Amino acid sequence: MAMIDTQPVKGTRDFYPEDMRVRTWLFGLWREVARRYGFEEFDACVLEQEELYIRKAGDEITAQLYNFVDKGERRVALRPELTPSLARMVLAKGAALPLPLRWFSIPQCFRYEQSQKGRKREHYQWNMDIIGLGSVAGEAELMAAQVEFLTLAGLNCAHGHSDVVIKVSNRQVIQHFLEGLGIGPDRFAAVCVVIDKRDKIGPAAVAAELARLGVDEGASRAILALLETTGLAEVAAKVPADNPGLIALTELMALCQASGIAHLLSIDLSVIRGLSYYTGTVWELFDASGAMPRAISGGGRYDRLLESFGGASVPMVGFGFGDVVITDILSERGLLPVLGRGIDDVVYPLSAVEFPVAARVATALRRQGRAVTVDYTCRRFRHVIERAEKDGAKRLIVLGGNEVRDGVCQIRHLGGEKREERIPLADMVGG
Ligand code: HAM
């Protein structure tokens, strides 16, 4: 019979145990940071109602859906992101939820994207969201949490030689600028989606798509020129002092100063983000060296998503932090930990006659909380010890026929120590 294709589905990954150890380590850091910031973990199903992702602004994510009609004629999709599920869950509970909420999750997400460095068709995404807080203190707290994670992971976030940069903008800067050009809020989300694509499709295609939205050539040029603006002073020079986006960015900078991360922020109006639901602050985290062109993570304020789902307006802000880019960056910098299997003892019965006593010894050791495997292969000592050492076991407990008859077992300490001792079996199995 011909062998099946052993490759995972294009753009998806297998996690062999050694990969899984790294993933568990990464998720552990994410959970630890979320705990330090007082966030509660939640989840939803990977299968969602398709309509949650259908947005009229033309978001790219809608075109990338893994969607189908199920056997009950429901239009469903594998979630490409968690935010709409979060909004649905908040809406479902309504006033029963004590706001503000601080929730986090590590969902697996699916997007039918062109698979390339930093982008797969499936990824895990650490999300932290604050629900019911309109102040940019929320953004500052979320950015500080991201920096805390990066520091725990071993990246340098100190002043002067940081490995990362947080590029920040606020969509209201542009929204109010557009209003000045006669482009109202009804067209704003769609304009954002178009201008976010400018690196991909080029200025001519952007101008053409903007023209379709009724934005004339002069306005297009003015918008694209404004996007070149970096730094708070330059923004302040280009927009009126009462521009709400400028005011929010100024406040955010002051709060980030207080939490010691302001040196990592770079105000950069070129950051738009491709999701149409963002209404205020938007930010993306990048590798400062420029070696990794993809954003490490992205977030923003989305105060009207619940309204768009038919609910009352509730301010929300959060970020999504994928596992793919950060794992690549940590790996390239030699920062991924070398993680062993965590085996404490290998119990080695020399023949099947000693299997019952081996099981008793293993049971007793496990009750003490030790990680134990029993080597039931009855293969040669050399092979058993080689494997035990490779697995990082601390002790090999040899159960030979003669020793068992004499009521003892032989313990060989592995690793640095390499000594042997004979111990009464009664001591091993707890009398
Ligand atoms: P996003 O920018 O689409 O935002 O994704 C957030 C992060 O997820 C990206 O910066 C990247 O780390 C990772 N990511 C996205 N797509 C892929 C992919 N195809 N392969 C690998 N990694 C990927 C959102 O999804 C928002 N829902 C985030 C959010 C939460 N905003 C507010 N709360």
Residue 363 shares a structural domain with residue 228? no
In a domain, 83, yes or no: no
Q: CA–CA separation, 318 vs 139, rounded Å?
A: 7
Q: What is the mean pLDDT of residues 23-31?
A: 98
pLDDT classification of 417: cutoffs 50, 70, 90: confident
Closest protein CA for atom 25 of ligand 1:
81
Any domain includes 70: no
Residue 54 lies in a domain: no
Helix (H, G, I), strand (E, B) or coil at 229: coil
What's 411's domain CATH number?
3.40.50.800
For residue 73, being part of any structural domain is answered with no
The answer to whether residue 75 is domain-embedded is no
Whether residue 382 sits in one domain with residue 237? no
Is the backbone peptide bond immediately before 98 cis, with ω within 30 degrees of 0?
Answer: no
- CA-nearest of 98, 170, 105, 107 to 136 is 170
Lowest model confidence (mean pLDDT) among 1-15, 157-171, 205-219, 346-360 = 205-219
Nearest to 246 by CA among 258, 262, 229, 264: 229
Q: Which of 115, 125, 128 to mutate to test the pocket of ligand 1 (most atoms within 8 A of CB)?
A: 125
Distance in Å, CA 274 to ligand 1 centroid = 10
CATH number at residue 106: 3.30.930.10
305 in the same domain as 361: no
Provide the 10 A C-beta neighbour count for residue 230. 15
Those residues whose C-beta lies under 8 Å from the C-beta of residue 12, and which sit 6 or more positions away, are: 120, 121, 122
Report yes or no on 179 lying in a domain.
yes
Determine the average pLDDT of the residues in 299-316: 96
| Residue 350 and residue 207 share a domain | no
The residue nearest atom 13 of ligand 1, judged by CA position, is 322
- Per-residue tokens: 96: 């029963």
Interior angle at CA 328, CA 256 and CA 156, nearest 5: 35
* Atom nearest to 322 CA in ligand 1: 12
Confidence of residue 430 (pLDDT cuts 50, 70, 90): confident
Atom of ligand 1 nearest to the CA of 295: 10
Q: Is residue 53 part of a domain?
A: no
Is position 388 within any domain?
yes
Closest C-alpha residue for ligand 1 atom 29 = 319
193 in Cβ contact with 59 (< 8 Å): yes
Ligand 1 geometric centre to CA of 127 (Å): 9
Using CA atoms, how far apart are residues 30 and 320, in angstroms rounded to an integer?
A: 12
Answer yes or no: is pLDDT of 418 > 70: yes
Q: Do residue 377 and residue 285 come from a single domain?
A: no
**Which pLDDT does position 114 carry in this prediction?**
92
Q: What is the DSSP letter of 264?
A: G
Longest Cα separation, the chain = 95
- Amino acid letter for position 405: R
**Residue 70 host element (H or E):** none
| Of 202-206, 285-289, 411-415, minimum mean pLDDT range | 202-206
State whether 419 and 308 are in the same domain. no
- What's the mean pLDDT in 207-227? 91
| Cβ–Cβ < 8 Å for 278, 246 | no
259 and 380 share one domain: no
Last residue of a domain, one of 302, 332, 362: 332
Locate all alpha helices (DSSP H) within 227-338, ordered by sequence: 232-238, 244-258, 305-308, 323-332
pLDDT, average across residues 295-324: 97
ω into residue 100 within 30 of 0, thus cis?
A: yes
Q: Which of 285, 309, 332 is the last residue of a domain?
A: 332
- The rounded Å distance from CA 278 to ligand 1 centre is 13
Pocket around ligand 1 at a 6 A CB cut-off: 81, 83, 111, 113, 119-120, 123, 125, 127, 129, 275, 295-300, 318-322, 324-325
pLDDT in tens, 137-151: 999 999 999 999 999
Domain hosting 360: range is 345-429
Q: Do 370 and 391 share a structural domain?
A: yes
Determine the angle formed by the axes of helices 17-36 and 137-152, rounding to 10 degrees: 140
Collapsing DSSP states into helix, strand and coil, what is residue 244?
helix
Q: What pLDDT shows up at residue 254?
A: 98
Ligand 1 center–CA 248 separation, angstroms: 23
Total number of domains constituting the chain: 2
Whole-model pTM? Answer: 0.96
Q: What is the pLDDT of residue 203?
A: 83
What are residue 265's phi and psi, to 5 degrees? -85, 140
**Calpha distance 297→50 (Å, rounded):** 24
Q: Which two tokens stand for residue 385?
A: 């010890």
Expressed in angstroms and rounded, the spacing between residue 78 Cα and the centre of ligand 1 is 15
Identify whether residues 321 and 377 lie together within a single domain: no
Q: Which of 332, 353, 381 is the last residue of a domain?
A: 332
Give yes or no: residues 200 and 111 share one domain: yes
On average, the pLDDT of the chain sits at: 95
Alpha-helical regions (H) of 317-379: 323-332, 355-367
431 has a pLDDT exceeding 70:
no
190 and 274 in a single domain? The answer is yes
Per-residue pLDDT tens over the stretch 49-86: 999 999 888 899 999 999 999 999 999 999 999 999 99
Which ligand 1 atom minimizes the distance to the CA of 113?
19
Lowest-pLDDT range, 184-198, 229-243, 342-356, 366-380? Answer: 184-198
pLDDT tens string 115-134: 899 999 999 999 999 999 99
Could you tell me if 173 and 278 lie in one domain? yes
